Amino acid sequence: MPALSDVRAVVTGATLGLGAAMAEALLAEGARVAVAARPTPRLADRVARWQARGWAAEPLPLDVRDPASAEAAAAEVRARWGGLELLVNNAGIGMRTVNPRFFERPQPFWEVSPAGFADVVATNLTGYFLVARAFVPLFLAQGRGRIVNITMNRETMRRAGFVPYGPSRAGAEALSLIMAEDLRPHGVAVNLLLPGGATDTGMIPPEAPAAVRERLLSPRVMGPPIVFLASPEAEGLTGARIVARDWERWLADFRARGGAPAG
């Protein structure tokens, strides 16, 4: 049997970039994946392509910024599957939405519009809260479940010109750690996963310098750690922060400690 044949997962922002790479890795290992994104032709096309490969992909319309949409998606998963093993909070927007030239001309925070600031925070931070809030009752009813929140390098959280993206990701990290503690007594795990460097996704503008593009990580770097976090080996792991670029070293250390979290 495939390694994850008993796993039902929801991945937000799963039609492109990191989300698509993680959804594909889970599907390839036999998981059933609800591909959560706004209901556009891109969602239908992505799901159709995965289904054509014999994978158990299903569309799940979801706007992470809308509380009603998050609640409706959770109700749909409950009705469709009856339960859930894994929620991956990944949907996000980057600096291009507030400063298309952020690589060549970093913008100081006082030049960022209030609307641009609110837009990024609404997706990258509030969206994680709204989606987790909608799905957690399903986990609590089961007495088990796993949440993985996608974040970024801490250097990004303090880099000049990275308002509001940096603060939105810093907030998501704090939210994740508090979620882990709130859910620990209920048997629900919350872990953080990040690529470990700039990644070749739609958040990087095409005109980015060649020196930058040459260093970009492939989104597929997220595949092995997300499969691990959905697997039996990750049972009981919560509050961890895993850097995908350093995945092999992290896993070796984890196994050397007998599966105990660091620290």
Enumerate the active-site residues: 165
Q: Which of 88, 89, 85, 87 is nearest to 4 (CA)?
A: 85
Residue 73 near residue 60, CB atoms below 8 Å = yes
Separation of alpha carbons 26 and 10, rounded Å: 10
Amino acid letter for position 174: A
Residue 123 near residue 90, CB atoms below 8 Å = no
For helices 165-183 and 127-142, the axis angle rounded to 10 degrees is 20
109-128 CB burial, b ≥16 within 10 A, e <16: eeebeeebbebbbbbbbbbb
Separation of alpha carbons 161 and 101, rounded Å: 11
